[in-house]
Each structure stands twice: as structure tokens, then as C-alpha cells.
Amino acid sequence: MRAWLLEESPGTYREADVPTPDPSGDEVRVRLVVSALNHMDLWVTRGLPRPPLPHVPGADGAGVIEAVGERVQGVAVGDEVVINPAVSCRTCPVCLSGESPLCPRFAILGEHRWGTHAETVVLPAANVVPRPPGRSWEDLAAYPLCTLTAWRMLRRARLRAGETMIVVGIGGGVSSAGLALGVAMGARVFATSRDQAKRARALALGAEGAFDSEADFPVKADVVFENVGAATWDRSLRALAPGGRLVTCGGTAGSKVELSLPRLFFKQHEIIGSTMGSYAEFDQVTGLIRAGLPVAVDEVIDGLGSLPRALERLEVGAQLGKIVLRHEV
Ligand SMILES: [Zn+2]
């Protein structure tokens, strides 16, 4: 099969012919119709983290089942499916308690195992779900990783209807999904960006207000939704109302931050880390997609061979929502 291959890290991707992988007992092979980009696709080329090599990137995708292992039940050749990129063992006590993102063998497609920027991908049958009807292939590639991550963040932050939420640094897939979920959950959602055009798009997506990321935020929030990190950290903390919760899944603009302990305890703030999501959370997210949750697709680029051009656009950071590759032109 054709695949984008990383043979050293730090390094660059090369389009290559590699042996088509066969599914073992509980696995399936999916022929990808679409895949979507994530910052992970850039980070693994910089050795942050260094994946097992050679490596095929890509966490998000959707397509058609073309082979199944001998123990697979409930999934058949020809089924149209969406991929859940959060892979865990599903048998340890942590997984059985429903907290599979904390599994010691937790792995992300395209980071710890071969991903979706290839003609096919092999993964556990438990990591595919039937394609929700009524949604485009592009939407189906765009929602899994970012909406799963945003959904678990909001669950962990205990966002409730009527509460105020600030999405810091609207632009990428996770923040766009956080905005859509917050609106759907009945929260008052505000967004920040340095970019006027992105602030305008946030308002169009249902935000009640949008302000500059580089000035103090003019509202106090019950939940601050962060994945920017150092560049906005202090403003994000100061925007928390008493009892407020800051939830973060990353630091795309700096990973080292400072904390004022008196403010933390006196205002009784909480700082909550979150990553990816569980199998049950993926089912919940897919249910929301089936019910019509908006998905922010920034651009659809034709051809698996266009990955380098798509990565350039991701690197510039001009997008609002996901960049999707449509494999068959
Ligand atoms: Zn486990």
C-alpha cells in the first residue's frame, strides 16, 4: 500500500510503498476514504515524542472495512466505519473500570502505532464504530480525536448548562470542538484569539462573545478551556470565577507555566488535566455527531499525496477547524 513513512525522528515524511498489514485475531483493516491532520503529525517529526520507527502518522480517519481477524464479531467486510484513535488493552482493571485513557498500555493511533495517512490501517475491531448516517466523510474524519478530547475535558471540568466558559485560542480542532460542545450543552461560551477573522468565525459558530487572546479577558468563567499553555496561562487563571475550573489538554504555545498558590487556594480553583477519551466517551461523541453536532472543517485537500501541503497549512496555524485529506481523487 501507499503510506507516508517516517524513518527517523527528527526527520521528514516520505511517500513509500509498504507491505499492506494483515489484521490479527481481534483486529480489522480499514481502507481509508479520508484522514484528518493533527499537531501530533508535526510533533513526531521533531522527536516530540519519538514514535517506534518506521512510523506512519495520522490519528483520524474513516473508511470501509476490507479484512477482519478470525475472532472479530459484529464488524464485517464492506462496513463503513469511523475510527476511534484511542487504543487501550480493554482487559486491565483500569480499562474495565471505564477509564481506558489511564490504561498502562494506552496508545494513540499515529503516535504509538501506525496511523491513517496511508491507504489502509489495521486496528482493534473495538476501535471502529458504524458510520453515523447523514454526515459527510469529511465530517467523519474531522470529529474523532478533537471532539473526543474536548468532550472528556468538559466532563472532567463538570461543565453545566447556564455556566460561563471561555475557550482560549480558538482555531484548532480541539478548541473548535470545545466551542461546539459548550454551546450544545447550554453553556454561555466565549472564545479568544489573536486573529480578528477567527474571532468572527467563533461568533458565527455560536460564541456569545470573542476577545483578543493578548489582553485580559473581560469576563469571569466557571470553566476555562485551555490548550495554548504558557502564552495565555496567566490570563486564563485570572479569568476564573471563584470555584472555577481550568481544564487543559496541552500547551501548543509553551509547556512550562507558573502558578500563584494564594490565588489557587483562596479562590478555590481547580486545574484539571485531560487527554483523549474512553470507549464509552467515544460512543457518546458519535451519538452527538449522529444528532447533528457541528464539526468545524477548515479545508478539504484532495489526494493522500498532498500531506506535505496540508502539514504546511497546519504549521502556519491559519485554520479554524480541521484539515482533511480525501484519499481517492
Ligand atoms: Zn487497560
Give distance in angstroms: CA of 179 to centre of ligand 1.
30
Q: How far is the CA of 284 from the centre of ligand 1 (A)?
A: 20
CA of 128 to the centre of ligand 1 (A): 17
Whose cell is 475472532? That residue is: 71
User: Which homologous superfamily is 150-273 in?
Assistant: NAD(P)-binding Rossmann-like Domain (3.40.50.720)
Q: Give residue 277 CA to ligand 1 midpoint distance, Å.
A: 13
Residues of the chain with CATH 3.90.180.10: 2-142+296-326
How far apart, in whole angstroms, are the C-alpha atoms of residue 18 and residue 7? 12
Residue 243 alpha carbon to ligand 1 centre in Å:
33
In this prediction, residue 252 carries a pLDDT of 80
Q: How far is the CA of 281 from the centre of ligand 1 (A)?
A: 15
Residue 99 in grid coordinates: 477509564
Q: Ligand 1 mean position to 144 CA, how many Å?
A: 20
Distance CA 259, CA 65 (A): 48
Say how many Å lie between the CA of residue 293 and the centre of ligand 1: 30
Q: Please, which residues bridge with residue 30 across strands?
A: 65, 121
Residue 80 Cα to ligand 1 midpoint, Å, equals: 27
Residue 329: the pLDDT is 62
CA of 286 to the centre of ligand 1 (A): 22
Contact 118, 133 (CB under 8 A): no
230, 253 Cβ separation under 8 angstroms: yes
Name which of 102, 8, 123, 126 is nearest 58 in CA terms: 123
Residues sharing a CB contact under 8 Å with residue 160, sequence separation 6 or more, in sequence order: 185, 187, 222
The residue to which cell 478551556 is assigned: 225
Dist. CA 151 → ligand 1 center (Å): 21
Domain 2-142+296-326 CATH superfamily: Medium-chain alcohol dehydrogenases, catalytic domain (3.90.180.10)
Q: How far is the CA of 87 from the centre of ligand 1 (A)?
A: 9
Query: Is 176 within 8 Å of 146 (Cβ atoms)?
Result: yes
Which pLDDT belongs to residue 157? Answer: 98
* pLDDT at res. 293: 96
Query: How far is residue 288's CA from residue 294's CA, in Å, rounded to a whole number?
Result: 9
Q: Distance, CA 285 to ligand 1 centroid (Å)?
A: 21
Question: How far is the C-alpha of 29 from the C-alpha of 114, rounded, in Å?
Answer: 12
Q: Tens digit of pLDDT for each residue in 190-211?
A: 999 999 999 999 999 999 999 9
Q: Please give the distance, rounded to the nearest whole angstrom, from the Cα atom of residue 110 to the centre of ligand 1.
A: 19
pLDDT at 113: 95
Q: Which residues partner with 245 through β-bridges?
A: 223, 270
pTM recorded for the entire structure: 0.96
Q: Pairing relation of β-strands 60-68 and 80-83?
A: antiparallel
Residues of the chain with CATH 3.40.50.720: 150-273
Dmax over CA atoms of the chain, in Å, equals: 59
Residue 131 Cα to ligand 1 midpoint, Å, equals: 26
Residues of the chain with pLDDT under 70: 329
